Amino acid sequence: MTPAPVLLRAVRRLGSDEPVDLLVRDGRIAAIGPDLPAPADVEVLDYDGRFVMSGLWDQHVHLTQWALARQRLDVSGARSAAQAVRLVAQRLAAGAPAGGAVLVGQGFRDGLWPDEPTVAALDAVAGDVPVVLVSGDLHCAWASSAGLRHLGARRVDGLLREGDWLPLQGGVDRLPDEAADALVTDALRAAAARGVVGVVDFEIADNLAVWRRRAAAGAPPVRVRAGVWQPYLDRVLREELHTGDAAVPGGLVEQGPLKVIVDGSLNTRTAWCDDPYPGTSDHGVLSVPSTELEPLLAHVHRHGLRAAVHAIGDAAVRLVLDAFEATGTRGSMEHAQLVGDRDLARFASLGVVASVQPQHLVDDRHVADRHWAGRTGRAFPYGALVRSGASLALGSDAPVAPLDPWLAIDAAVHRAAPGDEPWHPEQSLDIRTALASSVDGHPLALAPGAPADLVLLDDDPLTLARTPGALSDIRIHTTYLAGHPTSP
């Protein structure tokens, strides 16, 4: 259904004090200028000098996991395994989940813990209650004995990591589709209230089928680019869907890229690196070698799909760039957290977008100082990537970080949590670059013909960016999707 035309009076574009009017018709910007005439069929809304810009995209989310994480026990504040166990005990003391359901916690980061997370420690407080704690980076989990049985996992003494955990991730909560879909809709409405108009969903699931089911029940409040994983690739190829093609009528859901994970994570010490982790001979985990990655990328490239390839360690980054170069595939590298100096310029020369999640550097700076000691000058190297000509796309990796682009923008600009000193400030982005990397390639300077995916702001982000942390609290007035208000 095409939204009614609307004239937005007295809005200010970023960097300008002069108010203009903005006419929206058929879901697109029809005209911009001072004192535009109001056609008879157009609703007129006065925005009294509020700021307007292109709506924001989160280029990397796991939507179902994020929606579920908003309901889970928060263990992100645990500074030791013992403290995490105490949080579980406190939650169980308030009442075990009904009907023998699993107690799921979210967000622990064990990279700096002084003690080991063991099954026995959870068993001591959980007994027969299944408990599964999911790490902040999603690359490992810690379960009680009953939790391991719930997952159908092999018995381990500590953490389930990488290949032992990732295939089990979707079976933690086991909610009916209707219940999970309702949580996702709530999460997307909350995102729209923060100015979000689009997300790239990398949920480990049959995303084409999932989003067709959801769209049939009602249009999502944001645009969704649904990534595809290799187990579900044949269906996408049979339908001859290319990246960017509409996957449902109306076009709010479109086919996304193939997602591939080639290494692990920093916090789990499984990112594949040139140098071993301190005190070990371990270089991390290589999940997909070049002999598998290159044929796979060549295959999807022939069929019109882009690729989004996870690489965190510097050895993994180089391998992925080599694969893009060998196959001519277009797409993005997801994370690119540790990059060798000689590889920086290759992003631009190969046309590979660096899809990065700045909130990770705030969360992981101390872990990086320990486990990437002596190399942190090229960790999360956003400034160097931009100076080398690379295109950046910002995201959250929710639930690893909250689905709120303003947190990512603030972290990219200031590289510090409020009250902390900036971490390698030479790698900071200026505010305009951070904003431009958050709007899915649309220009910050709005122009006629562009989609009317807009956010109206009570505050000027260019001004707020001067104060660390201020962007996180920016006030959103209204978000428009194709000219239709999705918030408030």
Q: Provide the residue range defining the domain that includes 277.
A: 57-62+179-442
Strands annotated E in 339-382: 352-356
Q: Do 283 and 393 share a structural domain?
A: yes
pLDDT tens for each residue of 433-448: 999 999 999 998 899 9
Indicate whether 432 and 339 sit together in one domain.
yes
- Give the 3-state secondary structure of residue 374: coil
Average pLDDT over residues 444-468: 96
Q: 102, 137, 171: which is the final residue of a domain?
A: 171
How do residues 274-311 score in pLDDT, each as one tens digit?
999 999 999 999 999 999 999 999 999 999 999 999 99
Q: N- to C-terminal Cα distance for the chain?
A: 20
Which CATH number covers residue 35? 2.30.40.10
- 193, 328: one domain: yes
Whether 2 shows a pLDDT value over 90: the answer reads no
Q: Which residue has the tokens 């990112």?
A: 271
Residue 60 contacts residue 400 (beta carbons within 8 Å): no
Name the DSSP class of 455.
E
Q: Residues 362, 241: one domain?
A: yes
Please indicate, yes or no, whether residues 404 and 448 belong to a single structural domain of this protein.
Answer: no
Whole-number pLDDT of residue 165: 92
**What single-letter DSSP state applies at residue 147?**
H
Decide: pTM greater than 0.85: yes
Last residue of a domain, one of 140, 171, 202: 171
Give 178-224 pLDDT, tens digit per residue: 999 999 999 999 999 999 999 999 999 999 999 999 999 999 999 99
- Over range 61-87, report the average pLDDT: 96
Q: In terms of domains, do 4 and 137 share one?
A: no
Q: What is the mean pLDDT of the chain?
A: 96
In a domain, 380, yes or no: yes
User: Sorting pLDDT into bands at 50, 70 and 90, what band is 154?
Assistant: confident
Note whether residue 358 is domain-resident.
yes
Report the distance separating Cα 473 and Cα 466, nearest Å: 13
pLDDT over 70 (residue 100): yes
- β pairing state of 484-487 and 253-261: unpaired
Q: Is residue 58 pLDDT above 90, yes or no?
A: yes
Structural domains counted in the chain? 3
**312: closest CA among 349, 280, 270, 282?**
270
Please check whether residue 246 lies inside any domain of the structure: yes
What are the helix and strand counts (H, E) for the chain?
15, 20
Q: Are residue 260 and residue 406 in the same domain, yes or no?
A: yes
CATH number at residue 187: 3.20.20.140
Verify that 164 and 184 share a domain, yes or no.
Answer: no
At 483 the pLDDT is 97
319: left (phi over 0), alpha (psi -120 to 50) or beta: alpha
Q: How far apart are CA 354 and CA 360, in angstroms?
A: 14
Output the domain CATH number for residue 85.
3.10.310.70
pLDDT computed for residue 1 by the predictor: 58
395/361 same-domain check: yes
The number of C-alpha atoms within 13 Å of 214 and in the hemisphere containing its C-beta is 30
**Is position 293 within any domain?**
yes
- For residue 453, pLDDT beyond 90: yes
393-443 per-position pLDDT tens digit: 999 999 999 999 999 999 999 999 988 999 999 999 999 999 999 999 999
Q: Can you give the pLDDT at residue 96?
A: 87
Using the 3D structure, point to which of 147, 171, 195 is the last residue of a domain: 171
